[in-house]
C-alpha cells in the first residue's frame, strides 16, 4: 500500500543532506533505514548530539514503503548467498546497502507478509520498555504469531512511531455552491458527486470504508450475513467514482479532475499546505488508521544464528528517543503524522502546539471508533478480492 505524496519533495532533500552528515564508515554504527519525510531531520541531529559519544550512526532513506520492503527482501537474499572470498569495496556509498540496517521503517499493513516471508525478526521483551506510556492498542497492533496474525500473547514485531488516518479531502469552491461540505462516509453517495470522486486503488481500503459506512467492522472476516447490502453499497459507490488510483488520487483533485478524494492524512496534510483551496475531514463515526513502525531486518540472522538477537544499547536508546514527549511533539508537528503518545489524549491535555489539529489528532473518541487494517484468514482475503473484482468489472 503506497502512502506517499507525489507533490512534496523538498523535505526529502533536507533529510538526505543530514543523513550524509550523520553517516560514518563504522562497522559498529547504528544503522537506520527510514521512510523519507517520516522523521524530522532536526531530530536526527538532536539524537546525534545528545546520545552519541563514542558511537556513530548511519541514516538512509527511501521514498516509498515498497522500496523499504524490497530492501528487506534483498538483505535476506544476500545473507542466504555464500560470501565472496575476495570482496570488492566500492568508494560510492549506495542507499541500497548490502549490509542490513539495525532498524527499518515499515507500514503496519506490511507486517504480515514481512513475517510470513521471514524478512524481519521480533524484538526481545527487554528492548521495548515504554509500552505503559501508550494506549494498549499499539502493542496489540504489533504483537503477532509466526504467521503474522494478531496474537495477544505473540511476539513484538514492530515499534510504532507515527500514525495517520483515512480522510475525505475536497476542493472548497464546488461545495460552496452546493451549500454543504463533506463530513461523513455517507456523503460519498450523494448524487451530486457522481463521477467526481477519486478513491485509492485498494480493495481493503475501499471495502473497509464502505463497511464503516454500514456500521460494520472494516476487518469483518465473514460478511455473508450482510453481503447483499455490502454489494449494493459498493456498486452504487463505484458509479460515483471517476477513477481509482493509489498514486494520483490527490493529484486529480489538485488538477480539478475531481471534486473529492479519499487519502491518508500523512499524504493529505502536506498537499493542503501547498494548495489552500483544499479542505479535509475525518468522519466522526470512525475511520481507517495506518502506522509507521520500526522493524528489525532478518538479514543478520545467518550471522547471529538467532532471530531474537538483542538490539544494541544505542538502538534501544533510539526507540526510547522516538517516544520521548518533546521528540513526539516535534515529530507530530513536522511530519504530518502523529506520535502514538497522543492518540488517546484529549485536546486540553495535549502540548499547546498540538491543540486544535483535528486532522492530525482527530480525538480519542474517533480513535476509539477507528480501525487498523488487520490481516484476515486466506479465505476472507480471497472473498474481498473476488468482491472487488466483481465490482470493478461492473458497469
Q: What is the pLDDT of residues 23-37, one digit of tens each?
A: 444 557 899 999 999
Q: Which of the four pLDDT bands, split at 50, 70 and 90, describes residue 310? A: confident
Question: In this predicted structure, which of 10-14, 185-189, 265-269, 282-286 has the lowest mean pLDDT?
Answer: 10-14
Of 96 and 74, more confident? 74
Residue found by looking up cell 459498493 in the block: 234
pLDDT (0 to 100) of residue 29: 84
Mean per-residue pLDDT, 65-83: 82
Mean per-residue pLDDT, 35-59: 88
Q: Which of the four pLDDT bands, split at 50, 70 and 90, describes residue 50? A: confident
Of 12 and 224, more confident? 224
pLDDT (0 to 100) of residue 347: 87
pLDDT (0 to 100) of residue 299: 75
CA dihedral 324, 329, 333, 334 (to 10 degrees): -20
pLDDT (0 to 100) of residue 130: 78
pLDDT (0 to 100) of residue 92: 26
Q: What distances in angstroms separate CA 387 from CA 223, 269, 376, 380, one per listed residue? A: 11, 31, 15, 11
CA nearest to 167, candidates 319, 26, 361, 328: 361
pLDDT (0 to 100) of residue 105: 98
Partners of 143 in beta bridges:
156
Mean per-residue pLDDT, 335-341: 96
Q: Is residue 215 left, alpha or beta, with left meaning phi > 0 and alpha meaning psi from -120 to 50?
A: left
pLDDT (0 to 100) of residue 13: 38
pLDDT (0 to 100) of residue 191: 97
pLDDT (0 to 100) of residue 98: 67
- H helix or E strand, kind and range, residue 197: strand 197-199
Q: How far, in Å, CA of 333 to CA of 15, rounded?
A: 16
CA nearest to 65, candidates 148, 4, 141, 142: 4
* pLDDT at position 305 over 60: no
Residues 118-143: tens digit of each pLDDT = 999 999 877 887 788 899 999 999 99
pLDDT (0 to 100) of residue 219: 96
Q: How far, in Å, CA of 256 to CA of 171, rounded?
A: 8
User: How many residues comprise the chain?
Assistant: 395
Going by the DSSP 8-state scheme, the letter that residue 276 receives in this structure is: T
Mean pLDDT for all residues in the chain: 87
CA dihedral 300, 305, 306, 310 (to 10 degrees): -60
Residues 200-250: tens digit of each pLDDT = 999 999 999 999 999 999 999 888 888 999 999 999 999 999 999 988 899
Q: What distances in angstroms separate CA 121 from CA 78, 99, 116, 238, one per listed residue? A: 16, 16, 11, 40
pLDDT (0 to 100) of residue 145: 97
Pick 165-288+372-393's CATH classification: 3.40.190.10, 1.25.40.10, 3.40.50.2000, 3.40.50.2300.
3.40.190.10
Residue found by looking up cell 559498529 in the block: 28
Q: How far, in Å, CA of 318 to CA of 125, rounded?
A: 16
Of 113 and 52, more confident? 113
Q: Do domains 10-163+290-359 and 165-288+372-393 have the same CATH topology?
A: yes
Break the chain into its structural domains and give their ranges.
10-163+290-359, 165-288+372-393
* pLDDT at position 18 over 90: no
Residues 210-222: tens digit of each pLDDT = 999 999 999 998 8
pLDDT (0 to 100) of residue 116: 97
pLDDT (0 to 100) of residue 308: 57
CA nearest to 333, candidates 360, 293, 362: 360
Q: Which of the four pLDDT bands, split at 50, 70 and 90, describes residue 17? A: very low
Domain 10-163+290-359: CATH class, spelled out: alpha beta
Amino acid at each position: 500500500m503506497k502512502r506517499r505524496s507525489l507533490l512534496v519533495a523538498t523535505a526529502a532533500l533536507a533529510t538526505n543532506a543530514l543523513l550524509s552528515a550523520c553517516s560514518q564508515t563504522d562497522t559498529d554504527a547504528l544503522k537506520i533505514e527510514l521512510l523519507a519525510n517520516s522523521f524530522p531531520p532536526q531530530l536526527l541531529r538532536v539524537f546525534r548530539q545528545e546520545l552519541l559519544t563514542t558511537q556513530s550512526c548511519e541514516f538512509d532513506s527511501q521514498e516509498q514503503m515498497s522500496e523499504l520492503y524490497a530492501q528487506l527482501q534483498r538483505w535476506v537474499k544476500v545473507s542466504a548467498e555464500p560470501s565472496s572470498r575476495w570482496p570488492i569495496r566500492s568508494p560510492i556509498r549506495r542507499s541500497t546497502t548490502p549490509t542490513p540496517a539495525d532498524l527499518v521503517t515499515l507500514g503496519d499493513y506490511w507486517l504480515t507478509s514481512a513475517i510470513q516471508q521471514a524478512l524481519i525478526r521480533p524484538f526481545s521483551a527487554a528492548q521495548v520498555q515504554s509500552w505503559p506510556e501508550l494506549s494498549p492498542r499499539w502493542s496489540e497492533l504489533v504483537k503477532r504469531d509466526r504467521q503474522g496474525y494478531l496474537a495477544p500473547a505473540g511476539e513484538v514485531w514492530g515499534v510504532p512511531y507515527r500514525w495517520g488516518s483515512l480522510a475525505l479531502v475536497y476542493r472548497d469552491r464546488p461545495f460552496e455552491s452546493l451549500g454543504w461540505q463533506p463530513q461523513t462516509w455517507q456523503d460519498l453517495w450523494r448524487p451530486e458527486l457522481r463521477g467526481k470522486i477519486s478513491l485509492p486503488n485498494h480493495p481493503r481500503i475501499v471495502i473497509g470504508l464502505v463497511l464503516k459506512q454500514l456500521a460494520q467492522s472494516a476487518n469483518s472476516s465473514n460478511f455473508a450475513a450482510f453481503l447483499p447490502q455490502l454489494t449494493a453499497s459498493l456498486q452504487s459507490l463505484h458509479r460515483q467514482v471517476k477513477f481509482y488510483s493509489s498514486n494520483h488520487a490527490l493529484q486529480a483533485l489538485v488538477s480539478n479532475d475531481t471534486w473529492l478524494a479519499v487519502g491518508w492524512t500523512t499524504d493529505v496534510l502536506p498537499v493542503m499546505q501547498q494548495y489552500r483551496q483544499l479542505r479535509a475531514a475525518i468522519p466522526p463515526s470512525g475511520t481507517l488508521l495506518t502506522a509507521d513502525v520500526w522493524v528489525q531486518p532478518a538479514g543478520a540472522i545467518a550471522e547471529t544464528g538467532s532471530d531474537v538477537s538483542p538490539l544494541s544499547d544505542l538502538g534501544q536508546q533510539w526507540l526510547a528517543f522516538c517516544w520521548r514527549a518533546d521528540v513526539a511533539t516535534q515529530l507530530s508537528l513536522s511530519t504530518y503524522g502523529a506520535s502514538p503518545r497522543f492518540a488517546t489524549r484529549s485536546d486540553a491535555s495535549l502540548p499547546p502546539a498540538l491543540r486544535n489539529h483535528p486532522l492530525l489528532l482527530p480525538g480519542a473518541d474517533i480513535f476509539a471508533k477507528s480501525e487498523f487494517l488487520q490481516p484476515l484468514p486466506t479465505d476472507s482475503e480471497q472473498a474481498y478480492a473476488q468482491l472487488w473484482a466483481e465490482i470493478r468489472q461492473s458497469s
